[in-house]
Structure 1
C-alpha cells in the first residue's frame, strides 16, 4: 500500500474565510483555485477542505442537506472538479470533510422521517418516546442543552450537536448502504481521502445508560463502533487515499488499533492537548500538560500507529495567542516544536503567518452557535453581559474563522466587499504579501520546516524521545534512528530559563540546522530566552 501521507504536510482550508474570488464577502472554490500557486510555494502536499456541501449553515456546513452537491456560496460541482483537476496538476491532493454522524434537519431523509412513525425514513434517525416536558433521558449535547428535541409526534429525536443536526441511526443497514454509496461516489470522482468528522460518536449506549463522570460517555467510542469502522476501512482500502479521524474518546493507547498498519484509519486527531490554566476569560495553554499529552501520544503510537499533528484548526483559538505572545518569534518556536514530531503535520490557514485572536467587542461579531449558547447560559446563571462576553469570546472557535490576511489593505485582500466575518485589525502588519518578501518571517520559517521534513528522512521514520520531561517551560526532544539523530529545543514561555541537558546528549557533536534566533552550540547547561527554538543534527 502506498503510504504517501507519511512524508506529506497538509494544509487545512476553511473555505468561507480563505479567499473570495467573486466578491460577495464569502470565500469560495474559485478563491482556492486562484491561490493554488501560493500553496505550492508553501510546500504542502495536500489540502483538507472543511465542508463545502449543500447546507443551511446552522453549523457552518457541518449540517449537510445534500452530500453530493456544493453550497452555492462556494460555487458549483463544476468549480469543485476544476479545483480537483488543477490541484492535482500542481501536485496537491484534496481531502474532503466526511460528516456522517448526523445530517441537517433539512436533509430529504429527515424531512421524510418527520412525517410519521410509519415513514420508511423514520428509522434513518434515532427516536424515542417522549413528552414535551419529559425527554427519554437527561443526556447533554456538545452545544449545551438536551440531546433530545421533541417534535410533537409523541417522540423526540436525538442529536449530540445542535437540534438542527439530527444523528443518523448507524444500526440501520439501509443508512450505512446510503453512506457507503456516497463515499464511493466521491472517491470515484478522484478525491484523495477524507477527514472523518465526529466519527467516534456514531455508536450510542442504550438510552438507560447511567452517566458517572464523563458527560459525553454515552456517545464517545462506544463498544460496537468497531463493526462500522471495519466496514468503512474495507471501502477505504480499495483506494490509494489517506484517512484521518476526529475521534474524541479514543485514548492514545486505543488509538493504536485505529491507526496501526491494518487499523481503521491512517491517523486520528487527538483532542486532549488543549490543557487550559487560568481564570475563565483569561485562560492559556498549560505548557506542561500540553507537552505531556503530545509526548504520550508520540510514545503510545510509537511504531504501531500514526499521529496527525496540529496546533490549530477551525474549532480552536489561535495558538499564537493562547500559547505564544503573538510575536513572530513565538509563532516560529511553536511551529518548530510540533512540525518535527513524528506524524503528519497539518497547518491551519493563517497559522503559517502567525495570525492571532480577534478582539471581539460584541456578540454580534460572533457567529459560532455554541458560543451563543454558552453566552445565554452564562447570562441565565447570573453573569453580567460584559463578563459573559469576555468568558465566551476568549476561547471561541471564531478566532480561527476570521478571513485569511493576504495583504495589508482594506479587508486584508480577502475580498473587495465587506466580508462575512470581520477581518482582524492587525492585517496591516500580519499578512502573507509582506511575509513572502521577508526571509525572516514566520511564513519563511514554515517553508524551512517543511523543506527540513522532506530533506531529513529521520523526521518520518525515527523514534521520539522526550527529554527534560518535567521542565515547565521547555519542550525538548530527540528524533532518532540507529544511525542518526536530531535534537529539538524550544522554550515555549514568556520567561527566560536555564536547562541542563543529559550528558549523553550534551556530549554529542551537533550542527545547527534551524533557529529563530542567533546561532548557538549545544552545551550541558544552556540559557534560553523566551520562545527560543533550535534544531540540531548529530555529526557522525
Structure 2
C-alpha cells in the first residue's frame, strides 16, 4: 500500500512538474525576444507617450502595465514614459501661476502633486507610481510585447529639493547675490515662469560626469532603451557629445530630442520634434494656412535637414494637451485626417495618452486627472494605421525612409495628395484639407484598395473625385 501511495505521489509530482514545464514553455513562447535598438526598428515604429499618473484610477506602473497588450494592438513599438522620478516638494506647482505655498487650505493643497518635470532625485522612483520592482516589471512586460522603453530625461533643471542644491551648488546658475535661480530668459534676465525648478549650469563642465552617470544608471540597472530629452537644445551640445556615446557603449539606444535643431542630429539624436508640421496642421485646420503652405514646408524641410533625420509626427502631446488644448479643440473635424497624415508622412507617429480613447479634455498638469478608457471611434483608426505602419515598407520613416512624391491635383491649394514608395510597396494619401466640399482630379493611375474601408478604388487620368470636408483616403496596392 505504501509503495502504491508513493508511486501515485511520484506520478502526480511528475505530471505536475511536466505541466509546470509546459506552462513555462507556453510563457516563453508568448514573450518576444526583443532585438537591440537599431535603424531598422525605427523605420516602422509607432511611439506612445505614457502619462502614468493619469492613465488609470490607480495611476501606477502596475495598472499601466496591464494595458501594454492593448497598446501592442495599436502597433506601438516605443513607450515613452513621462518622468518617473520623485517630484520636488519645495515650490511645487499648484497651477500655472501658483505654488502649493500659495494654497492656504491644507486639504486643498494635498491634491496638487506638482510637475513631473521638477525632479528631486534622478535615480529614484516616484512612490506615487509604484516601486522599483514595479518599474522593472513594466519594462519586462514591454520588452516581452516587443516594445522599447525610453525615459523622459530633464537635464536642464532639477526640483528645489534635489540634494545637489546643497551638496553641489556649483552645478547651478546663480544671480548676482549668489543665489540659485529658476530658468531665466537669457535676453531679458526675467523668469520663464518655471519657478518650481532650479536651473542647472553646464558652463564649467563640472556637471557633465555626474549627469551622464545619472542617465547611465537607468541603462545599466533597469535596461531602458533610450531617452526623450526635455528642451534638449537648452543643454550645451558638448554635453550630449560627451554623454550619448558613453551611454551607447552599454547598449544601442533610441534618442529623442525635444527640439528641431539640425545640429543635434549628426550621430547624437535619432529623432526630433516635428513642431513645424504640427503647427501647420493646426493652422490648416483653422483655415489660416492651405496645402500650398504644406508644400512650401516640405520643400524647405528637405533643404534644411538630411534624409536620415527622423521626425516625430503628432497631433497632440502632454504640452499641447495641457496648454494649447486637445486635438479636437485645435483641429476640430480634421483631427482624424491629420492623425492619418502623421502615419503616412515621413517620420514616426506619436499617440499621446487618451488619444486612442477619443479623450477630449485638457488634462490638469499638476494634479491627478484621470483619462476615461472607453473605445470609440479612434481606437480602430489607430489600430489600422499602426498595422499599416508596422508592415508596409511604403510607410518607412526612419533613417532610410520611403520616397515621398507629391501628386499634382486640380485643386492643389485644398487637396493634399502624395505617394510613398519603397521596395515595390506603394501607399497614397489623398485628403481634402478644407472645411468645404472639393471636386478635383489627381495625376496618378492604378487600382488600389482604400485601406481604411476596404473598398476598391481605380484612379484614371482626368477622373474627377468629390470629397467631403476633411475626407481622406489611404490607398494601398
Q: TM-score, normalised by structure 2?
A: 0.75
Determine if contact 1:47/1:95 at 8 Å carries over to the other structure: yes
| Counterpart-to-counterpart distance in 2, 1:137 and 1:351 | 33
Note the alpha carbon deviations across 1:78-97, whole angstroms, 9 max, x for none: 21112112221222221100
Aligned to 1:48: 80
Against the structure 1 CA distance between its residues 404 and 184, is the aligned structure 2 distance closer, same or farther, given a 3 Å change threshold?
Answer: same
**Aligned ranges 1:221-232 → 2 under 5 Å:** 225-232=236-243
Of residues 458, 471, 475, the one that matches 1:532 is: 471
| Counterpart-to-counterpart distance in 2, 1:453 and 1:232 | 32
SS in 2 for 1:103: strand
Does 2:463 match 1:522? no
**Aligned ranges 1:108-507 → 2 under 5 Å:** 108-112=163-167, 121-129=168-176, 139=186, 146-147=190-191, 160=192, 162-188=194-220, 189-202=222-235, 225-238=236-249, 239-247=251-259, 250=261, 255=262, 257-260=263-266, 263-272=267-276, 273-275=278-280, 286=289, 288=291, 289=293, 292-293=296-297, 296-297=300-301, 300-301=304-305, 303-316=307-320, 317-325=325-333, 330-357=334-361, 367-368=364-365, 403-406=370-373, 431-432=374-375, 435=376, 441-460=377-396, 461-467=401-407, 471-481=412-422, 483-502=424-443, 505=444
| Counterpart-to-counterpart distance in 2, 1:515 and 1:87 | 28
Unaligned runs of 5+ in 2: 1-36, 94-113
Against the structure 1 CA distance between its residues 468 and 353, is the aligned structure 2 distance closer, same or farther, given a 3 Å change threshold?
Answer: farther
Determine if contact 1:17/1:404 at 8 Å carries over to the other structure: yes
Deviation at residue 298 of structure 1 after TM alignment? 5.9
Deviates more, 1:232-241 or 1:182-191: 232-241
Determine if contact 2:393/2:421 at 8 Å carries over to the other structure: no
| Counterpart-to-counterpart distance in 2, 1:304 and 1:81 | 33
Does 2:56 match 1:19? yes
Deviates more, 1:443-452 or 1:230-239: 230-239
Aligned to 1:2: 38
Determine if contact 2:151/2:224 at 8 Å carries over to the other structure: yes
Name which one, 1 or 2, has greater alpha-carbon Rg: 2
| Counterpart-to-counterpart distance in 2, 1:297 and 1:485 | 23
Against the structure 1 CA distance between its residues 46 and 285, is the aligned structure 2 distance closer, same or farther, given a 3 Å change threshold?
Answer: farther
| Counterpart-to-counterpart distance in 2, 1:284 and 1:452 | 30
Determine if contact 2:47/2:351 at 8 Å carries over to the other structure: yes
Deviation at residue 321 of structure 1 after TM alignment? 2.8
Deviation at residue 174 of structure 1 after TM alignment? 2.7
Q: TM-score, normalised by structure 1?
A: 0.66
Determine if contact 1:487/1:535 at 8 Å carries over to the other structure: yes
| Counterpart-to-counterpart distance in 2, 1:109 and 1:2 | 35
| Counterpart-to-counterpart distance in 2, 1:86 and 1:48 | 14
Higher helix share: 2
Note the alpha carbon deviations across 1:321-364, whole angstroms, 9 max, x for none: 31132xxxx44322221111122221112222333245xxxxxx
| Counterpart-to-counterpart distance in 1, 2:146 and 2:301 | 30
**What CA RMSD, in Å, does the superposition of the two structures yield over aligned residues?**
3.3
Determine if contact 2:44/2:391 at 8 Å carries over to the other structure: no
| Counterpart-to-counterpart distance in 1, 2:470 and 2:454 | 9
Aligned to 1:71: 126
| Counterpart-to-counterpart distance in 1, 2:425 and 2:256 | 29
Aligned residues: 399
Against the structure 1 CA distance between its residues 291 and 12, is the aligned structure 2 distance closer, same or farther, given a 3 Å change threshold?
Answer: farther
SS in 2 for 1:515: coil
Note the alpha carbon deviations across 1:210-256, whole angstroms, 9 max, x for none: xxxxxxxxxxxxxxx332221133124322220100015x2xxxx2x
| Counterpart-to-counterpart distance in 1, 2:335 and 2:283 | 20
SS in 1 for 2:332: coil
Deviation at residue 480 of structure 1 after TM alignment? 2.6
